[in-house]
Structure 1
């Protein structure tokens, strides 16, 4: 295991044959065991580490930006031959921290095709997700934004959670007329996730072009049209994978223990 995030990032980029987005770098670091963390936002940490190095180390930084959120090791063959359009200033001078990943997207996190039966439903349920499998889980029950209900992969309803948070809105759909008509859901959140795993509101600073790009990206993500090969411009939201509610795991353990106990009584 490497001694720091920076060393782990360098190792991943050195082993890669192509430049990588900071989310891919964080995934490789954790999956390969190059560095450990208890934080909820490892991708954001990787991005901040690279940004800090480029800003403060200047020409001594080992990293170079070769695209929006995409990086390589400076002076490496892939940095020189990459098909990604390399900004002129990236070759000659340090970038400002805001240049590293400055998206105007109003969507900061999202989850796709999460399973209804992995949640303990109550008024104000906990809806857990992780940035990567080994990341700290985040409760998105109080997230705000847009959600989609599916019958498997068929869209049956599109809604918004603003005055009432995501968890409460989804709970309402377990007992209303849609209760028996959906088993999966996707969500797109306006609230940002802190390193500690909390949700926070941030000031919106969005241009018309960025708003249109976000709407395009939402449609591409939710509809998955076969002719679209990318999410859309300026969509830097982090996708979270669903995590099982610990209460469900505890219930499974208790049910297993009761089953074993009943079998032992029957055998005696």
Structure 2
């Protein structure tokens, strides 16, 4: 295991024959055990480390930005595959394209097609998500923004959670007229996520172009039109994958233990 984020980043880039997006770098660092963190935003941390090194270390920085969000080691560029879009895997190309311009998107984070039955629904519901599989879970129950309810992949309702947080708003939909009509949901949040995993409001200075780009991105994410290869211009929000509520995990463990106990009693 490396002693710092910087050393871990260098190791991942040294092992790659192509430039990597900072989200891919952070995923490889955690999955390979090159660095351990209890932070909730490892991808953002990696991006900050790379950007800071290039800005402050100048020519002495070991890193080079080869596209918005794409990085490589300087001494590996000569031996890497040509740095053209055709040489970058589709996943990384899409990430790079979504970052090509500076962003003023009002959406800070989002989750797609989360499962209703992985949340313990109550008046102050907690909704857990992770930036990456091995990162710290974040509770988005207090998030504010826009949400979509689905019956599998069919949209049945679109709403907003401004005066009431997202967790409370969705809980209400478990007991109202929509209660039996949805089993998945997506959300697009206005609150930013800190490194510690809490939510915070940030000042928004969004231009008309930024608002239009955000609307385009929301439609692309929700409708998934087959001819759109990227989310939309200026949409730099971080996607979070759903994590099961710890209370449900505990219930599952207890049920398993009871089942084992019953089998042991039956066999004695």
Please, what TM-score do these two structures have when normalized by structure 2? 0.89
Structure 1 unaligned segments of length 5 or more: list them: 85-98
Report the equivalent of 1:229: 229
Question: 1:18 offset after TM fit, Å?
Answer: 2.4
Report the equivalent of 1:82: 83
Q: Does 1:176 align with 2:144?
A: no
- Distance change in 2, residues 1:261/1:203 (3 Å): same
Report the equivalent of 2:28: 28
Question: 1:79 offset after TM fit, Å?
Answer: 7.9
Distance 1:230 1:21 in 2: 15
- Whether contact under 8 Å (2:101, 2:234) holds in the other structure is no
- Distance change in 2, residues 1:78/1:142 (3 Å): farther
- Distance change in 2, residues 1:80/1:258 (3 Å): closer
Question: 1:80 offset after TM fit, Å?
Answer: 9.2
DSSP 3-state at the match of 2:113: strand
1:228-256 CA deviation, whole Å, 9 max, x = no partner? 11111111111111101010111112222
Report the equivalent of 1:60: 60
Report the equivalent of 2:123: 123
State how 1:180-259 maps to structure 2 within 5 Å.
180-259=180-259
Question: 1:259 offset after TM fit, Å?
Answer: 2.9
Structure 2 unaligned segments of length 5 or more: list them: 86-98
Distance 1:18 1:267 in 2: 58
Distance 2:246 2:133 in 1: 15
- Distance change in 2, residues 1:8/1:193 (3 Å): same
1:42-66 CA deviation, whole Å, 9 max, x = no partner? 0110011011111211111111222
- Whether contact under 8 Å (1:72, 1:79) holds in the other structure is no
Report the equivalent of 1:146: 146
- Whether contact under 8 Å (1:145, 1:189) holds in the other structure is yes
Q: Does 1:105 align with 2:102?
A: no
Report the equivalent of 1:5: 5
Q: Which deviates more, 69-78 or 150-159?
A: 69-78
Question: 1:260 offset after TM fit, Å?
Answer: 3.3
Q: How many residues align?
A: 254
Q: Does 1:38 align with 2:54?
A: no
DSSP 3-state at the match of 2:123: coil
Question: 1:74 offset after TM fit, Å?
Answer: 2.2
Distance 1:28 1:53 in 2: 20
DSSP 3-state at the match of 1:28: helix
Report the equivalent of 2:19: 19
Question: 1:151 offset after TM fit, Å?
Answer: 0.7
DSSP 3-state at the match of 1:148: strand
RMSD: 2.0
